[in-house]
Chain A
């Protein structure tokens, strides 16, 4: 069974640009969550999607957005990039429903803003 796939693995962008990251969850998983990982702040929750609806959102500015498609694949977008957005962006997938709370992470997309 394939794991969580994130593309691309590495990105270099310039301040002010926008970027779109992609995540394909484990087959059958309907919940996709996004996290930002930085050395200073650690792992911070961005948002969660379930059945194409944003179900939960972390404390990030509106420049960070996401969406989920009918096949559960998800994308996150960051507009007007700032230097501080440089981070490892991780996607985690999990099954829907009670008790199915294990979250499996992809390898992440390393975003560098210059």
Chain B
């Protein structure tokens, strides 16, 4: 059972364009939604994260939009650059009390930004 569904699998965007990656989740107990960026040969790096009490969060060129009723969230990369070419993973987590819970990841989106 895939609890976090991510689309598209791959994405090609022109330099300066907007990259949009979407995720949908099933478990309403999820309370933390991070996005990770992974370059080949590296571990995933935390990019930006949001909690369900906020509908949007922006950090530089990266924005998360969150729709609690639809159980969907998305990553928007504005003014995409060739250096943004990487694989992006959305994730979700539950955490209660002192427990960290565990991250449930989407399958990933391979982004290529063409110069």
Contact = CB atoms under 8 A, between A and B. Distances in A.
Nearest to A41: B107
Given A42-B105, A42-B107, A43-B105, A101 B43 contact: no
A98 B46 contact: no
A98 B46 CA distance: 18
Nearest to B42: A107
Interface in B56-115: 89, 91, 93, 95, 97-108
A58 B46 contact: no
B44 interface: yes
A35 B108 CA distance: 15
Interface string A75-98: 000000000000000101010111
Contacts of A96: 98, 100
Nearest to A32: B100
Interface residues of B, number: 26
Contacts of B95: 98, 101
Given A43-B105, A101-B93, A101-B95, A31 B100 contact: yes
Contact of A103 (B46, B97, B104, B107): B46
Nearest to B106: A42
11 contacts: A42-B107, A45-B102, A48-B102, A50-B100, A90-B44, A96-B98, A101-B93, A102-B49, A103-B34, A103-B103, A105-B46
Interface of A: 4, 6, 31, 33, 35, 42-45, 48, 50, 55-56, 58, 90, 92, 94, 96-98, 101-108
